């Protein structure tokens, strides 16, 4: 504490010295002293004086020799000052550690403003500006002008304020006096005009004038003056002014104000004792515990994707796009933001001209084809440097998959910057495995060329449904393993979107380098995070906000997890309505048929160039969802196809759905299984990688999903209970109103007819959840009724017992008369 007091006193003394220095150097007639690195000190850097005609003024120039050796100085004036200024000595010889003075006399011989220099040479070589203003004592035309500055030293941001004084010496009214106010540098002749005005002088006046300092005016000494002209007679008045930033407001290095250094020192002194406590308190309040190595985090560039911000920090974060060739997984519970984070990655990939195909079980990704208009989502834009005008739709198409063995021409969808959504909501959950196998087989069939870096991203949404515990057979996962192993060489990346991550096995785990783990309730995932990364990451993830997830990549942050607050999406938060999806599918099938006709016409040696170009226009308009224009184009295009066929006298073949043979699927699956065993042998895997199917009940049973308008989907009663509390009211009303009850219809059809009938009476979230709770525990109400009956019986028994006791007790009722008294006495005696 004693040292702290001394340091405080030191700071105060320094502060007072600075203020004293400000006061000493405030006179603009002297300017600040000249100090040449301790060799010598000259008492002033300016000689400035305003005198009247005939006046004589003496001033002193003092030179201090700070060296031990002798100092010799010659003193002279520029030629234009020799008649007005006299110096009593031609030079000075100053012994070591001593000082000497030269007397300077200014003589008001003639009217005007005179500028020159006092020249010091010899052991000192410098020049001191001299500014002399000599004015008349009186003006023959009957007035005298004078200006008096309020401040001789002002900051560049201040206004120049002064008092204009006009003393009138005659009785006549002086009309049309022209006044011109100016500012000029003491070393230059050019005037900067501040203002011009004309006045009529009836009486003497004394008025305040204020002018702004011209922009970009440098610090230095200036002459503020006013020229007056009346009937050909001119006069003026001037005053010296210094424009300078006060020492305390000067910036060291051009950035740091001097005053902030003193305040900073004081803050450091008084904060040092509480620093540790404050740091611990801040760390304790932080929701996300992580260590960041900023040098190893991806930076903005041509091949990086903007994800959002590092959680609790105003710092943008990115993902290297080519890391996706080593594949990625986005996992998290329903409602935790996994779909948003996955869609942010896809949006950024599309903006970088990467082709994307999404295998979508619920058609929720169809919202990518429309721009965001959700007010809640748009409200998050400013936090991430986005504007509502940044919302956009992405070019693409939707295709309904109706057969799980449908072959996919993958090259057809490899259009840079375009998204193809394969909607699987028409398939049964049990067919998901088969379709994934068909896709993988189709890709291997196409024999893609090798390519460095990412050019095509395949997104498998809700991929956990392939797991046995969620109703899958596990065969689809074997095929995805094969994809993760082989797709990289072709520039293909795989992104899996799932509710769980820990159940991924084999080479899926081994070949996925980028993990995004959103908030989860899955116990196995939580245990995995705790075991692998520690308790602090587990607690951070449990407390994570919606839309914030834990990102891990071995190449980033030294392989340590860090939390990312993903930016809001640019596309619509709601899936397209079923009728719009049907339109996309209808037009898509027509276009495919016409493309097939072009192939047939080309085999007949028909020139199809114009047809191809017009069909491309149709496809482009379909990608933007402009159905009316698509209709117009097709209306003109279809007759042209018919005419071509009539010309060659043939009819086109109808395009049939190409299916993958069961035999080919089995062969592909067998190969994937063999490669799994080989990998397990190489890795020395002893544990079984197959997952047993969990016992199924009506609460956890995976069924065909119910998809809400905001794109959120649920595939079981358990998921519905998790999603419903946070579902927006306007979204709920679009599914639950006087005209329909989609939740009851879904539950009755997919889970249990009785449950559907019960939920038809529900009108809000609370009643739906209550009815589901009763359905899951059917004996609960019965038990309550039995318990209530038992309680009632107990009450009745107690009452009965009380009555019996009352009958055997002595009557204590007060008698109304003597006869009653005798009767009661006889009864009591008998008892």
Distance of CA 417 to the CA centre of its chain: 24
Check whether 502 has a pLDDT greater than 50.
yes
Q: Give the pLDDT band of residue 186 (cuts 50, 70, 90).
A: confident
Angle at 89 (CA atoms; ends 83, 95), nearest 5 degrees: 150
What dihedral angle (degrees, nearest 10) is formed by the CA atoms of 592, 597, 603, 604?
A: -170
Q: In what order do the strands lie in the sheet with 159-168?
A: 143-149, 159-168, 205-212
Cα–Cα distance measured from residue 347 to residue 615, given in angstroms and rounded to the nearest whole number: 27
Describe the chain by its helix, strand, coil percentages, rounded to 5. Answer: 40, 25, 35
Six-digit token string for 367: 């919202």
**What pLDDT, on a 0 to 100 scale, did the predictor assign at position 25?**
39
- In this prediction the pTM is 0.59
pLDDT value, residue 258? 78
Measure the CA–CA gap between 487 and 446, rounded to whole angstroms. 12
Q: Sorting pLDDT into bands at 50, 70 and 90, what band is 8?
A: low
The residues, ordered by sequence, that sit 6+ positions from 149 with a Cβ below 8 Å of its Cβ are 160, 161, 162, 224, 239, 241
Q: Write out the two tokens for 754.
A: 């009785």
Helix or strand run (H / E) with residue 94: strand 91-94
Tokens 């748009």, residue located: 378
Residue 752 pLDDT greater than 80, yes or no? yes
Element containing residue 626 per DSSP (H, E): none
- Residue 813 is predicted with a pLDDT of 43
Q: List pLDDT tens digits, range 585-642.
A: 999 999 999 999 999 999 989 899 999 999 999 999 998 888 999 999 999 999 999 9
Number of Cβ atoms within 10 Å of the Cβ of 385: 11
| pLDDT tens digit sequence for 449-467 | 999 899 999 999 988 777 7
Closest alpha carbon to 369 in 351, 353, 389, 392? 392
Q: For CA atoms 436, 439, 443, 445, give the dihedral sign.
A: positive
Find the helix or strand (DSSP H, E) in which 1 lies: none
The residue behind tokens 């959680």 is: 311
203-212, 357-366, 671-680: segment of lowest average pLDDT: 671-680
Residue holding tokens 């010598």? Answer: 40
Enumerate the β-bridge partners of residue 107: 56
Q: Is 576 exposed, middle or buried (0-12, 13-18, 19+ CB in 10 A)?
A: buried
Strands 85-87 and 174-185, sheet pairing:
unpaired
Find the range with the poorest average confidence among 6-10, 158-162, 383-387, 430-434. Answer: 6-10
8 A C-beta contact, residue 105 and residue 148: no
Residue closest to 408 by CA, chosen among 657, 623, 582, 590: 657
Q: What is the pLDDT of residues 83-131, one digit of tens each?
A: 899 998 999 999 999 999 998 989 888 888 888 999 999 999 999 999 8
Other CB atoms within a 10 A radius of the CB of residue 116 amount to 20
Determine contact, residues 449/475, Cβ cutoff 8 Å.
no
All residues at 6 or more sequence positions from 595 whose CB lies less than 8 Å from its CB, including other chains? 615
Distance between CA atoms of residues 800 and 558, nearest Å: 80
| pLDDT digits 0-9 by tens, 281-333 | 766 777 888 888 888 999 999 999 999 999 988 899 999 999 999 999 999 88
476 close to 700: Cβ distance less than 8 angstroms = no
Could you tell me how many residues make up the chain?
831
Residues 6+ apart with CB under 8 A from 210: 159, 160, 161
DSSP 493: E
- Which of 446, 500, 437 shows the shortest CA–CA distance to 666? 437
Residue with tokens 């063995």: 405
Give the pLDDT confidence of 35-90 residue by residue, as tens digits: 887 789 998 888 888 887 878 888 889 999 998 899 999 999 998 898 899 998 99
For position 695, what pLDDT does the model report? Answer: 52
Q: How far apart are CA 444 and CA 664, in angstroms?
A: 12
Round to whole Å and give the CA distance between 65 and 86: 24
d(Cα 172, Cα 168) in Å, to the nearest integer? 9
Kindly report the number of other CB atoms within 10 A of residue 757's CB atom.
12
- 378-413: pLDDT as tens digits: 999 999 999 999 999 999 999 999 888 888 888 889
Least confident of 231-245, 411-425, 691-705: 691-705
In this predicted structure, which of 132-141, 174-183, 186-195, 329-338 has the lowest mean pLDDT? 132-141
The Cα–Cα gap between 168 and 205 comes to 8
Q: Per-residue pLDDT averaged across 682-689, rounded?
A: 58
């Amino acid at each position: 504490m004693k040292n702290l007091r001394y340091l405080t006193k030191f700071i105060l003394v320094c502060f007072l010295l600075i203020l004293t220095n400000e006061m000493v150097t405030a006179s603009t007639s002297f300017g600040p002293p000249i100090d040449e690195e301790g060799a010598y000190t000259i008492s002033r850097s300016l000689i400035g004086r305003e005198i009247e005609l005939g006046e004589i003024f003496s001033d002193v120039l003092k030179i201090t020799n700070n060296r031990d050796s002798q100092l010799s100085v010659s003193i002279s004036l520029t030629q234009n000052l020799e008649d007005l200024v006299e110096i009593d000595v031609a030079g000075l010889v100053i012994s070591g550690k001593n000082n000497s003075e030269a007397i300077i006399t200014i003589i008001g011989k003639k009217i005007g403003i005179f500028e020159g220099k006092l020249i010091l040479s010899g052991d000192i070589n410098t020049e001191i500006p001299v500014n002399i203003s000599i004015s008349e004592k009186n003006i023959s035309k009957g007035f005298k002008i004078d200006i008096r500055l309020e401040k001789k030293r002002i900051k560049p941001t201040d206004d120049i304020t002064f008092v204009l004084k006009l003393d009138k010496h005659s009785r006549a009214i002086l009309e049309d006096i022209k006044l011109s106010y100016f500012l000029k540098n003491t070393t230059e002749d050019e005037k900067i005009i501040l203002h011009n005005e004309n006045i009529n002088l009836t009486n003497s006046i004394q008025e305040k004038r204020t002018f702004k300092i011209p922009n970009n005016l440098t610090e230095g000494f200036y002459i503020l003056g006013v020229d007056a002209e009346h009937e050909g007679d001119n006069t003026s008045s001037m005053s010296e002014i210094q424009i300078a930033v006060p020492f305390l407001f000067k910036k060291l290095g051009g950035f740091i104000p001097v005053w902030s250094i003193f305040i900073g020192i004081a803050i450091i002194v008084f904060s040092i004792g509480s620093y540790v406590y404050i740091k611990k308190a801040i760390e304790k309040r932080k929701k996300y515990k992580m260590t960041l190595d900023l040098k190893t985090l991806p930076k903005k560039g041509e091949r990086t994707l903007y994800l959002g911000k590092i959680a609790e920090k105003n710092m943008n974060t990115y993902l290297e796009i080519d890391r996706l060739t080593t594949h990625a997984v986005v996992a998290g519970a329903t409602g935790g933001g996994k779909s948003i984070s996955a869609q942010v990655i896809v949006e950024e990939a599309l903006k970088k001209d990467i082709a994307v195909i999404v295998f979508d079980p619920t058609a929720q990704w169809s919202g990518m084809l429309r721009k965001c208009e959700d007010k809640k989502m748009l409200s998050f834009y400013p936090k991430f440097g986005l504007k509502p005008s940044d919302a956009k739709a992405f070019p693409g198409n939707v295709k309904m998959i109706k057969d799980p063995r449908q072959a996919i021409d993958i090259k057809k969808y490899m259009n840079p910057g375009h998204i193809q959504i394969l909607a699987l909501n028409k398939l049964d959950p049990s067919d998901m495995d088969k379709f994934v196998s068909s896709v993988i087989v189709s890709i291997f069939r196409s024999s893609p060329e090798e390519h460095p870096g990412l050019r095509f991203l395949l997104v498998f949404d809700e991929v956990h449904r392939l797991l046995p515990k969620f109703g899958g057979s596990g065969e689809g996962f074997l095929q995805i393993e094969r994809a993760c192993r082989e797709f990289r060489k072709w520039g293909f990346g795989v992104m899996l979107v799932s509710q769980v991550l820990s159940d991924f096995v084999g080479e899926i785990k081994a070949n996925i380098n980028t993990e995004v783990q959103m908030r989860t309730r899955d116990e196995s995932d939580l245990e995995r995070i705790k075991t692998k990364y520690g308790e602090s990451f587990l607690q951070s993830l449990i407390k994570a906000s919606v839309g914030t997830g834990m990102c891990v990549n071995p190449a980033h942050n030294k392989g340590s997890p860090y939390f990312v607050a993903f930016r809001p999406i640019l596309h619509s938060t709601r899936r397209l309505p079923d009728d719009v999806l049907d339109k996309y599918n209808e037009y898509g099938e027509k276009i495919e048929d016409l493309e097939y006709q072009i192939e047939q016409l080309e085999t007949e040696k028909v020139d199809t160039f114009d047809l191809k170009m017009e069909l491309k226009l149709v496809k482009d308009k379909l990608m933007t969802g402009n159905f009316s224009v698509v209709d117009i184009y097709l209306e003109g295009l279809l007759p042209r196809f018919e005419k071509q066929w009539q010309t060659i006298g043939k009819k086109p073949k109808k395009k049939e759905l190409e299916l993958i043979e069961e035999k080919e699927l089995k062969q592909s699956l067998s190969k994937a299984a063999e490669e799994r065993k080989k990998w397990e042998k190489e890795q020395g895997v002893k544990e079984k990688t197959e997952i047993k199917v969990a016992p199924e009940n009506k609460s956890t049973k995976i069924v065909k999903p119910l998809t809400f308008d905001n794109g959120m989907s649920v595939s079981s009663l358990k998921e519905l209970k998790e999603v419903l509390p946070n579902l927006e009211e306007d979204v709920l009303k679009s599914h639950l109103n006087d005209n329909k009850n989609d939740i009851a219809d879904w539950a009755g059809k997919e889970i249990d007819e009785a449950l559907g009938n019960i939920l038809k009476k529900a009108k809000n979230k609370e009643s739906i959840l209550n009815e589901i709770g009763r359905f899951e525990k059917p004996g609960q109400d019965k038990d309550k009724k039995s318990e209530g009956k038992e309680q009632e019986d107990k009450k009745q028994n107690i009452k009965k017992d009380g009555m019996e006791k009352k009958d055997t007790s002595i009557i204590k009722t007060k008698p109304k008369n003597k006869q009653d008294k005798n009767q009661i006495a006889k009864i009591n005696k008998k008892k």
